[in-house]
Each structure stands twice: as C-alpha cells, then as structure tokens.
Structure 1
C-alpha cells in the first residue's frame, strides 16, 4: 500500500506542479505581453477535482488524517480495535458512495453531452473521466484497508488492528517528529 500511496502522491504533485507552472506562465504573459492563455481557471478546477481523491488516498494510507482520540485512549484494547474497525468501515462506505456519485455524474454528463460554460467549451465527460479514475484509486485503497481491518477484527487481533489503524500515541508522534528533525539537521550539515 505504501507504493500505492507514493504513486498517488507523485501524480498529485505532478498535476499541482504543472498547474503552478501554467499559472506562473499566465501571470508573466499578462504582465509583460498583455496576453492571456484563457481558461486556466477551468483547468485549475479540473486539477483540484482529480487531485482531491489522490490526496485522500495518501492521507488514508499514511494515516495522516486528523484523528480525535480523546475518548479512545481511555478505552481498552478491544474497544479501541472496534472503533478503529468502525472508522475504516465508515471510510470504506464513504468512498464507495463517492465513487457511485462520481459515476452517476459522469453518466449524466455523457447522456446530456454537457460542455463547460467557458470559452473552451470542454466536453465535461473528459475531465470527469479523470475524476472518476482518481476516485476509483481512493475507493480501492479505502476498501482494501477496510477489508484488512475487518479481517483483523474478525480474528480478534486487537493489538495488530490498533497498531495498523489506530491513532498514533503521543510518544509515537514525538518519536516521528524527532526523527524528522534529525533528518533535517543532518541534511543541513
């Protein structure tokens, strides 16, 4: 799954970098030559629609999303495992719903042959197909992790379930931050 997250992150970064370069070129062309590429805001919207599910994927796999665990830390290992499995199941269901919604939107766009209300008049089926692909990437990751969490719950492996799907403890967060600090200091030397 780490390679899956890495690939999603690379695609996300490449799309955002290309968008940033295009915005920079647009700004320079406008200021120096009074010329506009036109439609860059349209491309920015498409880029965000594609990149959001990719960012969701990275955050999900890397456990980088915010978790409020004020009550969970007071629970026993079994109760923590159940809540962690429920969290993964709810993310799996949410991702499946988002994929369903994206698919329905694309099918409606295709049947109506909708185009963007911009100077480019882009047939919306093309950017929405990329959106669907990105949403599929997120859904696959969420459902695989949901399945793994449910398997661990079924087998009663509370420790592994909490280790893989639970929020980091304060000690684990501190250790990670100190490790990152050491890497930064080593690279500056």
Structure 2
C-alpha cells in the first residue's frame, strides 16, 4: 500500500507542478505581453477535482488524516479497535458513495455531451473521466483497507487493528516530528 500511496503522491506532485508552470507562463504573458491563455482557471479546477481524491488516498493509506483522539486514547483497547474498524468501514462507505456519484455525473455528461462554459469549451467528459479514475483509486484503497480491518477483526487481532488503523500516540507523533527535524538539519 505504501507504493500505491507514493504513486498517488507522484501523480499529484507532477500535476501540481505542471499547473504551476502553466500559471507562471500565464502570469508572464499577461504582465509582459498583455496576452492571456484564457482558461488556466479551468485547468486549476480540473487539477483540484482530480488531485483531491489522490490526496484522500494518501491520507487514508498513511493514516495521516486528522483525528481527535482525546477520548479514543482513554478507552479500553477493545473499544479502540472497534472504533478503528468502524472508521475504516465508514471511510470505505463514503468512498463508494463518492465514486457512485462521480460515475453518475460522468454518465450524465456523456449522455448530454456537455462542454465547459469557458473559452476553451472543453468537452467535460475528458476531465470528468480523469476525476472518476482518481475517485476509483481512492475507493480501491479504502475498500482494501476496510477488508483488511474486517479480516483483522475476525481474527480478533486487536494489536494489529490498533497499530495499523489507530491514531499515533502523542509520543509517536513527537518522535516522528523530531526525526523529520533531524533529517532536515
């Protein structure tokens, strides 16, 4: 799953780097030559729509999403494991809903042959298909994580449910931050 996460991060990084280059070219053209590419804002919207599910995927795999674990860390280990299982299942359910919504949107776009209301008049099927693929990447990751969590729960492997799906302890977060700081120095 770490490779899957890295691939999502690389795809997102390349997309954002390309967007930054296009925005920079647009800015220079406007300032120096009083000319616009007209539509860079359209590309930015597509990049966000495609990039968001990739970032969701990374956060799900790396367990880097924000959690408020004030109560979680005070609960018995069995309850913590049950909540971690519930969180994995809930995230998978959300991603299934989102990919279904995205699919319906793409199908409707294809049916009507919709185009963007911008100077480029982009056929929306192109960016929306990329959005659907990115949402599929997110859904695949969350469903695989949920299946793993269910299998761990069926085996009654509380330790793995806590370590693989639980929030980091304060000490672990501090050690990680100190390690990051040490590497940057």
Same fold, judged at TM 0.5 (above): yes
Kindly tell me the number of residue pairs found equivalent between the two proteins: 185
What is aligned with 2:62? 62
Q: Which residue of 1 aligns with 2:95?
A: 95
1:184 Cα offset (Å)? 1.1
Residue 23 of structure 2: aligned partner = 23
CA distance in structure 2 between the aligned counterparts of 1:44 and 1:182, rounded to whole angstroms: 35
Q: Tell me the alpha carbon deviations over residues 5-36 of structure 1, each in whole angstroms, 9 at most, x when there is no partner.
A: 00000000000010011001000000000011
The structural deviation recorded for 1:154 is 1.1
Q: Structure 1: which 5+ residue stretches go unaligned?
A: none
Runs of 4+ in structure 1 displaced over 4 angstroms? none
Q: Which residue of 2 aligns with 1:164?
A: 164
Report the CA distance between 1:182 and its aligned residue.
1.1
- Give how far 1:160 is off: 0.8
Structure 2 residue 116 is the aligned partner of structure 1 residue 110: no
Q: TM-score by structure 2 length?
A: 0.99
* CA-based RMSD: 0.6
Q: Which runs of 5 or more residues in structure 2 are unaligned? A: none
Q: Output one character per residue of 1:108-135: Cα deviation in whole Å (capped at 9) or x when no partner.
A: 0000111100111111011100000000
Deviation of 1:176 after TM superposition, in Å, equals 0.5
Secondary structure of 2:101's match? helix
| Residue 153 of structure 2 is aligned to residue 153 of structure 1 | yes
Given the alignment of the two structures, is residue 130 of structure 1 paired with residue 130 of structure 2, yes or no?
A: yes
Q: What CA deviation, in whole Å up to 9, does each residue of 1:159-184 have, x standing for no partner?
A: 11100000000110111011111111
Per the normalisation by structure 1, the TM-score is 0.97
